A and B are shown apart, each in its own frame.
Chain A
Amino acid sequence: GAGVSQSPRYKVAKRGQDVALRCDPISGHVSLFWYQQALGQGPEFLTYFQNEAQLDKSGLPSDRFFAERPEGSVSTLKIQRTQQEDSAVYLCASSLSGQPTNYGYTFGSGTRLTVV
């Protein structure tokens, strides 16, 4: 597609429910990133894929968070047993290269998750 597409745009989940957030990066983009942005804060790194390999997951806040990119294109961020503190905008970004220094990033519009 022309840009990075995220779905759903908005998700309301009851506490304890599992959610799955999807990111469809620009076709051919090697690198894919997930960020979490709490209200009024800058985004915080969650995890990074290069093709299908998850090279860095050090930002995932707990073992309730899981991300995958099985075929090196679409990625899913799954949150199990959601808690209120998980409420945030989840941003996906992709880059053409494994070296984003050269090509920069394209961001999706994010998924706003509200846990009630």
Chain B
Amino acid sequence: KNEVEQSPQNLTAQEGEFITINCSYSVGISALHWLQQHPGGGIVSLFMLSSGKKKHGRLIATINIQEKHSSLHITASHPRDSAVYICAALQGTSGSRLTFGEGTQLTVNP
């Protein structure tokens, strides 16, 4: 069992739909990252959170520390949101190492 698991692995949506990607982790963490990776490899950090909820534009990330679960939501999805979304756990109280989920491939069709 992976220490960080994401679901779904693949997600296809129509433009405008509300999207949720889930992340569960089994390790103790100091923070959790949501990352976006476009074809070609570049990774962009979307959020880093250790509690509660963060919002940036159409993106919302939530985390429940007790349940060891985080979600990334995209409202009013757009084809340019198509990418791989990865959650990564920053482990330990003085954590330095990220443990990554396998990613969710999101395709938003016009």
A-side interface residues toward B, CB under 8 Å?
A: 31, 33, 35, 37, 40-45, 48, 50, 55-56, 59, 89, 91, 93, 98-101, 104-110, 112
Contacts and interface: CB of A to CB of B under 8 A. Distances in A.
B76 interface: no
B96 A41 contact: no
Contacts of B25: none
B45 interface: yes
Interface in B84-110: 86, 88, 90, 94-103
Nearest to A44: B100
Contact of B102 (A42, A56, A98, A112): A42
A45 B102 contact: no
Contact of A43 (B90, B95, B100): B100
Interface of B: 4, 30-31, 33, 35, 40-45, 48, 50, 86, 88, 90, 94-103
Contacts of B98: 33, 35, 43, 45, 93, 105
A107 B45 contact: yes
A42 B45 contact: no
Nearest to A55: B96
A45 B48 contact: no
13 contacts: A33-B97, A41-B102, A42-B100, A42-B101, A43-B43, A43-B98, A44-B100, A45-B97, A101-B90, A105-B48, A105-B98, A107-B42, A110-B41
